[in-house]
A and B are shown apart, each in its own frame.
Chain A
């Protein structure tokens, strides 16, 4: 089975711009979660989608948003980029999001640099 894929792998933007990142989960997985990783804050949970609905949300401002499509692919959007948004953005997928039967598998990430 193919793993989680994320596009693009690297991205450079300037302050004030917006960006959209894409994630394709493992085939058959319906839950997609997004995380931000920075050297200062480590890995932080952004949000999780299941069956096109946001099911969990972390403590990030409204500039960070996401959506999930009927084929479980997900996108996340960051508007009005700030320098502090420079980070590795990771996507993870799981079958149904219940820890008792499920495991999250991570993609390689998208490295976003904001200048």
Chain B
């Protein structure tokens, strides 16, 4: 079973920041938080990952709470092309199995 909980859907106005929450209250010390997104019927696209520090790249920022039980993915200036299903995943440091949950369907409103 997936170890993460995400809201099934969210709306965000175009140009605004999209903040996608994820709960992972049972995360272990050696598990990383990963975010992927999937645009309709395409393969999932890697966005960002982190262990305990906040991370930022050209796509997004990842904010992980100090107790690591939740995180937030931030898309700073959402565009219509960011409409997708966003998956929050926890992965162990060794091994390569990804357990996907149902994700959050993000709608960007023009």
Contacts and interface: CB of A to CB of B under 8 A. Distances in A.
B43 A104 contact: no
B97 A45 contact: yes
Given A100-B32, A103-B49, A45 B43 contact: no
Given A88-B41, A99-B32, A99-B91, A55 B46 contact: no
Contacts of B96: 31, 33, 48, 50, 55-56, 94, 97-99, 102, 104
Contact of B43 (A42, A94, A102, A108): A108
B95 A97 contact: yes
B44 A98 contact: no
A50 B103 CA distance: 28
Contact of B98 (A50, A98, A104): A104
At the interface, is chain A mostly helix, strand, loop or mixed? strand
B92 A99 contact: yes
Given A98-B93, A99-B92, A100-B32, A90 B44 contact: yes
A30 to B, nearest CB: 11
B53 interface: no
Interface string A46-67: 0010100001101000000000
A108 B99 CA distance: 19
B78 to A, nearest CB: 22
20 contacts: A42-B101, A42-B102, A43-B87, A45-B99, A56-B95, A56-B97, A90-B43, A94-B96, A97-B95, A98-B96, A99-B34, A99-B92, A99-B93, A99-B94, A99-B95, A100-B32, A103-B34, A104-B96, A106-B43, A106-B44
Interface of B: 31-32, 34, 36, 41-46, 49, 87, 91-103
Interface of A: 4, 31, 33, 35, 42-45, 48, 50, 55-56, 58, 88, 90, 92, 94, 97-100, 102-109, 111
